Amino acid sequence: MAQCLSSVVLLWISLGTVLGAGFLGVRPQSNDKCRYDDINEAHFSYDQNHCEGPMKWCNVHQCWSTCGSNIRQSPINIQTAETIREGFGDLQFRNLHLRVPANISNNGHSPDFDCKVETDEALRLKKNIILTNVPMRGDKQYIFAQLHIHIGNETNRTSDSNINDDEGSEHSIDGQFYPMEAHLVFYDSSFDNIGVAKPVNDSLVVLGVMIKDKDLCSLEEGKMNEKFYRKHCYRKRTKCKGRFAKRLSDNMEHYFEEIRNHDPVKPDLEKSSDDDIREYQCGDHPDLDFIYNNCMKRSTYESRNYREVESGISPLDVLPCDQSFYTYAGSLTTPPCYETVQWIVFKCPITVSKKAYRNLQLVQDSNEDDLKLLGVKRHIMTRGGPEPSLSEDQLELLEKSWNSIKVNIANIGVVAFMNLFQTHPEVKDAFLPFQQLAEDDMEHSAILRSHALRVMGTVDKCLTRIRTPEKLQSLMHELGERHVNYSAKYDFIDMVGGQFVHAIKPHLQDSWSEELGEAWVQLFRVLCYYMKKGMRDNNANAD
């Protein structure tokens, strides 16, 4: 039996470069504070008007500063007119016949179905459900770890709010929200557990499935259970109709009622490490050492309010029949909002019973209020923020440093691409001339050196135009349009800048500073912004 549907894959990647529930463990009650020093006490809210609410998460604790980033935060509104169609292969699942053991608990945020992940090295790829062939993630393997569901609130149904809190899906497609959105969370199998994995680049994949609710299911939909799914849905694509996800619906009806009441927890008196006195501000991205030393203390304590899911869980409980999807590089949708998620948002919804939906609404949060009061939903994030620009100080730093290093541009270019191919092998596969070259031959390849010189030549042209923004924009816009004809991957555009900055640093040791590094990073933000705009405009004109 084939492992997956043949799917039409639609790629939408944001400008700039989940765990829909990115918060591990039990959420403590609010102390009505706008800023917490101890990560064990930090509390976030879905109250839009509170200082602990979504717009202020980045201020609540410095470990959550990434929530204020405008680079690749989630969720987003997927505008289908701006998607780029890509022929990715199907998602592949291993051990999909398994129903993995799981617990469900009320963590004060949203009820989670948490898999009991097999951690034994010899068994972890045999006893866990594994996801592979993820777009933009090469040959990485991801372990199924969690299932949870987002809903909206019931307080704004008659208001003119543009946040659509009453519709519970976090993502929207062409502005359309759904009552609920399920998130299936997978983490990189090279890590011991999801907590260690989640702050690391490319470590998480989250499948988002829209959910509708129905009072009673028709006979036809009632038949669309897991047996129907296995027998028919793998053989051909179906029209985009809501499959009745009976197993999921039954679990929601049963277990959400069982764990409805929340047992409040008091934070442990033991504080997290404060040896590192750095202060991260909204929009900053804490480094991994800081995160592991200061942000890993979890507001989680043994709770009596959990149940074992008797039949276990499986992605089959949730996946729609038609597996056409949109994908983009994004973030966790709750604190700490790390930008480490590859999102797979399915085009077609599933349905569950009205009772299942109602039981989720009545689950209590950490303040012992029903989830329907505030919902469990982050607002749509603005992707990329305003058009990036360079300050006068940055212009001067760039011009001065470029004059020092441009004599070595060929070597710098080769080093940059070698590093890129090592960290992201899938990028090498996108370059037809490089596919047959062994790694040992790459560094001395005339083809690579020629390509590196062309790229560095473009950087040189950009540096001569940085004080005339309209010329710089025109240059990069035209370059983006040409790259569409080369079948360049939209998401790869952001990867070059970081490797370039890494490659020039050794040539500027005496004059290197954080300000200089940020100036180069900002330059590549500008270049990528207009290059990708050219790619989108080219695709729009072609359509």
The residue among 333 and 166 whose pLDDT is bigger is 333
Q: Provide the total of helices (H) and of strands (E) in the chain, helices listed first.
A: 17, 16
Encoding tokens for residue 45? 């809210």
Q: What's the pLDDT tens digit per position in 391-420?
A: 999 999 999 999 989 888 888 888 888 887
CB-CB contact of 374 with 45 (8 Å): yes
Model confidence over 281-321: pLDDT tens digits?
Answer: 888 889 999 999 999 865 444 555 678 999 999 999 999 98
542 or 216: which leads in pLDDT: 542
- Catalytic positions, please? 109
Q: What tens digit of pLDDT does each residue of 10-49 get?
A: 443 322 223 333 444 555 555 567 888 888 888 888 987 7
Angle at 128 between CA 124 and CA 132, to 5 degrees: 95
Structure tokens belonging to residue 5: 């549907």
Handedness of CA 427, 418, 528, 462 (dihedral sign): negative
User: What average pLDDT does this structure show over 454-460?
Assistant: 90
State percent of the chain over pLDDT 70: 78
Spell out the long-range contacts of 30-34 with Cβ–Cβ below 8 A and sequence spacing 24 or more: 30/366, 30/367, 34/59, 34/60
Question: What is the rounded distance in angstroms from the CA atom of residue 65 to the CA atom of residue 61?
Answer: 7
At residue 89, the pLDDT reads: 80
- Its CATH architecture, for the domain 392-542, is Orthogonal Bundle (1.10)
pLDDT at 283: 84
Q: Does 136 or 543 have the greater pLDDT score?
A: 136
Total residues belonging to the chain = 543
CB of 525 within 8 A of CB of 391?
no
Determine what percent of the chain is predicted with pLDDT higher than 90: 40
Query: Rounded mean pLDDT of the chain?
Result: 80
Phi-psi map region of 59: left, alpha, beta (phi>0 left; psi -120 to 50 alpha): alpha
pLDDT at 150: 95
Hey, what are 340's tokens? 């480490």
Listed residue (297, 232, 376, 218) closest to 40, CA to CA: 297
pLDDT at residue 160 greater than cutoff 60: no
**Confidence (pLDDT) at 1:** 24
Is the predicted pLDDT of residue 141 greater than 80, yes or no? yes
Contact 168/157 with Cβ under 8 angstroms? no
Evaluate whether 128 touches 143 at the Cβ level (below 8 Å): yes
Q: What is the pLDDT of residues 461-495, one digit of tens each?
A: 999 999 999 999 999 999 988 888 877 776 677 77
Higher-confidence position of 147 and 164? 147
Tell me what pLDDT residue 309 has. Answer: 95
Contact indicator for 87, 493 with CB cutoff of 8 Å: no
Confidence (pLDDT) at 29: 54
pLDDT above 70: residue 367? yes
Q: Which of 155, 185, 150 is nearest to 168 (CA)?
A: 150
Q: What distance separates the 2 farthest-apart alpha carbons in the chain?
A: 74
Q: Each residue of 245-280: pLDDT tens digit?
A: 999 999 999 999 999 987 765 555 455 444 555 678
pLDDT confidence tier of residue 159, bands split at 50, 70 and 90? very low
DSSP H stretches of helix in 118-215? 124-127, 194-197
Gap between the Cα atoms of 487 and 485, Å rounded: 5
Q: Reply yes or no on domain 9-21+72-263+305-374 having CATH 3.10.200.10.
A: yes
Nearest Cα residue to 63 out of 210, 278, 261: 278
Instruction: Identify whether 336 is preceded by a cis peptide bond (ω within 30 of 0).
Output: yes
Domains in the chain: boundaries: 9-21+72-263+305-374, 392-542
Note the pLDDT of residue 67.
92
Enter the tokens of residue 112. 């989670």
| pLDDT bucket at 541, cuts 50 / 70 / 90 | low
Confidence category of residue 161, pLDDT binned at 50, 70, 90 = very low
Looking at residue 414, its pLDDT comes to 86
Residue 238 has a pLDDT of 45
For residues 312 and 100, the answer to whether their CB atoms sit within 8 Å is yes
